[in-house]
Amino acid sequence: MRPKDDGTKGGGRRTGAGGRPRTAQPRRATIDIRALLADREFIKVTAYVLPRRTKIQVLEMMERLRRPRIHQASAPSPGGAGPLPEMTGGELVREINWRLGTLPPEDAEAVARYIRHLTRWRAARRKARAGPGGPG
């Protein structure tokens, strides 16, 4: 009489690859919390000193990055994100800071990189406008 081959090795435990029991949860990539917090803090602090138009650009970028995550199951709206409502500079900063709390690491890194790009560009333009004998 042959034993029934049900994938167990006598102890009732199923064996997978390597003889270890399989887990239902997939492995997650590690998150660098320090970098995430540093990027969020940089965005938060820098948002106060950015010009109003740049604050709007940052907020629009945050919305573009957020929209695919929110609408993964449903089809995205054909027109994309609608225009932001008219806001003052303080309201823009509050909106940016409010969204920072839910910003995932890859989005925080992208937004921080975008702000660094914008601030470097503005600094270079300001320096060029001052001329060779100006400050800097």
pLDDT in tens, 61-76: 998 888 887 776 565 5
Q: Kindly state the tokens that stand for 91.
A: 């309201």
Domain that holds residue 66: 33-70+85-130
Task: Give the percent of the chain with pLDDT over 90.
Answer: 32
Length of the chain: 136
40 located within any domain: yes
pLDDT: which is higher, 49 or 123: 49
Q: Does residue 122 surpass a pLDDT of 80? A: no
Inside any domain, residue 99: yes
Structure-token pair, residue 76: 């995205």
Number of H helices, E strands in the chain: 4, 0
Asked whether residue 12 is assigned to any structural domain, the reply reads no
User: d(Cα 39, Cα 112) in Å, to the nearest integer?
Assistant: 6
Domain total in the chain: 1
Worst-scoring range by mean pLDDT, 17-31, 81-95, 112-126?
17-31
Residue 10 lies in a domain: no
63-72 CB contacts, 8 Å cutoff, 24+ apart: 65/107, 65/110, 65/111, 66/99, 66/107, 69/104
**pLDDT for 133 beyond 60:** yes
